[in-house]
Amino acid sequence: MSDAVVRKARPGDGPALAELSLENTAYYAELLPGDFRVPDEEGLAEFMEPGPEENTETALALVAELDGELAGYLEAQLQPPLESARYQSAPEFGETRLFVNYVGTRRKFWRRGVATSLVEAAEEWGRERGATVAACDTHLESPVSLPFWEQRMGYGRRSVRLRKRL
């Protein structure tokens, strides 16, 4: 479906990841200003620069390239079964879980299969390491990410995270 090339994030990707991050957060900060803010631009490229801890046996950082540009980014991690799983009501706590921490796509590449390619690659990576369930968080009011996860990727709502400012 997508011509995106998915690969592990590597040193040198920091500036493009910072641009992607700024673009994504600006979109959400405008859409939902009480829930998002644009991060400081100064030092962001260095902060986003991938290091050796980004890709390990339990952590994954992928980028997708399309038309010669970094088009998308994903971070995920494996969560092992909990030692207390036998006391938990949710059976998945006794399983290895893939948790997708972040997926972002440059806006000019939306609807071109970039995020789909990234998530599918992460799910395969998780399966290869014993994951039997995948999960993520997303904003309920997002007109982009919620339909992506539910309609495109087949994830179902399982819980609602509530919060209150104090």
- Give the CATH number, domain containing residue 59: 3.40.630.30
pLDDT above 90 for 114: yes
Task: Tell me if 165 is assigned to some domain.
Answer: no
Q: How many domains does the chain have?
A: 1
Is the pLDDT higher at 59 or at 159? 59
Instruction: Express the helix, strand and coil content of the chain in percent, nearest 5 each.
Output: 35, 20, 45
Task: Tell me if 164 is assigned to some domain.
Answer: no
Q: How far apart are CA 95 and CA 27, in angstroms?
A: 35
| Two structure tokens written together for 55 | 């890709």
The whole domain housing 42 covers: 5-152
Q: Provide, rounded to the nearest whole percent, the portion of the chain with pLDDT above 70.
A: 99
Q: What is the pTM of this model?
A: 0.93
Task: Tell me if 159 is assigned to some domain.
Answer: no
Residues paired with residue 97 on neighbouring β-strands, in sequence order:
79, 133
Return mean pLDDT, the chain. 94
Could you report the per-residue pLDDT of 53-101, keeping only the tens digit for each? 899 999 999 999 998 999 999 999 999 999 999 999 999 999 999 999 9
Q: How does residue 16 score in pLDDT terms, banded at 50, 70 and 90?
A: very high
Q: How does residue 1 score in pLDDT terms, banded at 50, 70 and 90?
A: low
Q: How far apart are CA 108 and CA 112, in angstroms?
A: 9
Averaged pLDDT for residues 144-164: 90
Q: What is the pLDDT of residue 156?
A: 93
